[in-house]
Each structure stands twice: as structure tokens, then as C-alpha cells.
Chains A and B, each alone.
Chain A
Amino acid sequence: KNQVEQSPQSLIILEGKNCTLQCNYTVSPFSNLRWYKQDTGRGPVSLTIMTFSENTKSNGRYTATLDADTKQSSLHITASQLSDSASYICVVSDRGSTLGRLYFGRGTQLTVWP
């Protein structure tokens, strides 16, 4: 069964600290993996996309990694800011059909305290 599991479910950190969010998946055949950020009361916004051949990709203070062998991805946030408080959702795409489909994780709720 294709699944996406995220950990931790929630996380509280102090402003300026770093943190790492995890995403494990069993989706096969794998196409790509995206991390989305969802602010409270807003729709999700894409942060980064990882394809099979990519190990790491940065977007400002966000760095995503992908280990396609172990089917794990992480999102590292450096020097956190209050505006980083949000839910971070891992979404994995398959290529098992002509059009493919998406599998969503339940998200990690990050709270950054001043």
C-alpha cells in the first residue's frame, strides 16, 4: 500500500534554532517528492521538489534531502523565524499510470516561539 508518513506530528522550537522534519514513503514507482508549507488558514504552497536523481536542494533557509534507496526525505530549516510556524506537508508522486497520482502525508505542525 502506497503511504507517506511524517514525523514528528508536531514540533516546538525557539526562534533562531534549526530543525529537521522527516518524511518516509512507500510509494512505488516513485516520480518525485514535494514539500509544501501551509500557514494557518491558508492553502499549501510548494517549497521544493525532489526527483529521483537529486539528493539535496535548497530554497533559502529550507534544505530538502532525498534518499531514494531508503525512501526517506527530510526538510531542514535553518535559523528559524516566527514566520516559519506552519504545517509542512510531504507529497509523493508516483508514475504507475499515464497520469500518475499524489500521496499526501499528514504534515508536521511547527511552532516557532520567540
Chain B
Amino acid sequence: EADIYQTPRYLVIGTGKKITLECSQTMGHDKMYWYQQDPGMELHLIHYSYGVNSTEKGDLSSESTVSRIRTEHFPLTLESARPSHTSQYLCASSAGTGLTGELFFGEGSRLTVL
């Protein structure tokens, strides 16, 4: 089993609230990712990190922000949630030199914004 953990698993909040989705991995992987997944659709990369103090935006534009202060921790923050942010958010990590290695995923955080 992969050692990557996400909290909370489920979150229901009102519009305008600030939320942080937590992601931690104990595998020592340099690369970490946040994906957004909607029913019947492919995963979309919204943020990734090569290592500590490195963050990059992914293919899908997102109003969220991320930080990478420690190797094992890669939280995602939404300053003001809106109903359009309702989705499943998956955190992942990988080893190796590129961005195409095997992804190890957390179990996801399902966000519902009312």
C-alpha cells in the first residue's frame, strides 16, 4: 500500500469559506501533484512540485494555491470556495527524475461547496 494520506476525506462548506486540503507522504518522493477529478472525466493536473520550495501550475487553471515547505507535505488551499470548486481532489507523489513515473495516489478529498 502507498503511504500517502489526504485529509479530510469529505468536506461540505459554504461559499466564501477558506479551506485547506492536506496531503502527506512518507515515501520520500521529491515530486508531488494535485489532480482534480470529476465523474466520467479524466484527471486534470492543477499543481505539481519538484521538491521543497518548488511549485508549478498544471494544465487546468485553478484558483487554488499550494506550498511545499517540507518534502512530505503538499497542502492545497482555496481562499474563497465557490460551488464551481465542487470536485474530487487527488494528491499523488512519484519518484524518479521526470514527471512520468508511477503515481502513488492518496484516497482523495471530496469537496462540496454549497
Binding site for B on A (CB under 8 A): 4, 9, 31-32, 34, 36, 41-46, 49, 89, 91, 93-95, 98-102, 104-107
List B contacts of A43 (CB < 8 A): 2, 4, 90, 92, 105-108
A34 to B44, CA, bound (A): 16
A102 to B44, CA, bound (A): 10
A95 to B101, CA, bound (A): 12
Say which one of B14-22, B35-43, B68-76, B79-87 lies at the interface with A.
Answer: B35-43
Residues 1-35 of B, flagged 1 when their CB comes within 8 A of A and 0 if not, give 01010000000000000000000000000000000
A32 to B44, CA, bound (A): 19
Contact call B42/A106, Cβ cutoff below 8 A: yes
List A contacts of B43 (CB < 8 A): 44, 89, 104
List B contacts of A99 (CB < 8 A): 97-100
